[in-house]
Structures are given as C-alpha cells and as structure tokens.
Amino acid sequence: MQRQSSSFIIRHASSRDVGHVSDILTESFYRSHDRKVNWLLRCFTDLAYPLLRYGIMLDLNSRFSEQTPCYACLVATHTTNKSQAIASLEICMRYVPTKPHHQFWLGHTMQQYPYIFNLAVHPQWRRRGVAKQLLLAAEKTVKQWGFSRLYMHVLEDNQPARSLYDDIGYRLHDQENSLNHWLLGHPRRFLLQKNF
C-alpha cells in the first residue's frame, strides 16, 4: 500500500522506519512543544530522552516481529525525502465496550475491533494535513481486514485533535470517569468511534 496525497506519501512502515518512528513518538509524547512545562520537568525529559526513545524502539521492534494479522504501522513521508517518516500511527485489535458507558444497565460487554493508537506527527510537520491523510489510510487498511468500524482514544483537553477527529466523522462512544479525573483533575479519555 502506497498512497500519495498532495506532497505526502502514506505507506506501511518497515523495520527500516523504526528509528524515525521512535523519534516521532518520543518527541510527540515526551517533549511538550504545545504546552507549558516547568523547567525541571523539561530538563528531566531531555536527560531521559535517549532511554525513552530506546524503550519505544524496543516496543516497535517487538510489534513488527510478531507479525500479527491485524496490526499495521502506517507512516507518512514527504515527497522530498521518501525514506524519512514524518508522522505515524498504529492499528491493532483491542477490546472496546459494545455499549456506551452511560448504558451500563444494559450490561457491559466487550468485543474486539480495530483501534488506532500512537498517532503522532513530528512537531515540524504539524497542521499541514498529514494526520488526516494517515487516518483516512487507516480506514482503508481496516476495510481490507473486513471491518467497518474503527476506534481511538483522545484526551478531553486535546482540542486540536478532537476537532480533526470530529471533522472526519469520529463520534463519542464512551468516556472514562476515572479517579484521576475526579481526584486529581486529570483530563478524561474519550473513546471515539467511526463507522464507514
């Protein structure tokens, strides 16, 4: 699968992409470019960066070597450098509630469906449409697996991501009401669903 849209190419990742994908994930999830972080936390993150990146690289290599039938890692590259990933996402099978949390009286059953995780765009390439292209390519991959439904989580306070997901048809399916939210004020995780 290789898909070109505007100046981005979306393709399945290979083991050669592990280093670049590890960089993207570490930058996106551990270095806070979009929000203010105290100086001490930033210093700690900078010191721990190589260890964090190494851990992510081991996880990726493990998922690649398992060769699970319903697993995919998609990467986006720019036409100027087709070998360097600038964004990525992963899809796997996860158990999700078949009924929204607020319908708990109907019974709480879980079923496996395709689930998007680790969607990340390198900070230099954000707000150019690459995440949207990856999400649309993920839908095509899931359709090839024989599914017509896709899930993902988003944090309640991640407004840019929530707007993007809403624009392309993801709807709220469930929300976590955890102790972290009630006691510590941490943002809730929303489980989103898209049918196609």
Domain 2-195: CATH superfamily, name plus number: Gcn5-related N-acetyltransferase (GNAT) (3.40.630.30)
C-beta of residue 131 within 8 angstroms of C-beta of residue 164? yes
Residue-wise pLDDT for 132-190, tens only, equals 999 999 999 999 999 999 999 999 999 999 999 999 999 999 987 766 556 666 789 99
Residue-wise pLDDT for 78-118, tens only, equals 999 999 999 999 999 999 988 765 555 555 688 999 999 99
C-beta of residue 130 within 8 angstroms of C-beta of residue 76? yes
**Average pLDDT of the segment spanning 114-131:** 96
Residue-wise pLDDT for 28-86, tens only, equals 988 765 556 677 777 888 889 999 999 999 999 999 999 899 999 999 999 999 999 99
pTM above 0.85, yes or no: yes
What's the rounded Cα separation, in Å, for the pair 99 and 38? 40
pLDDT number for residue 163: 97
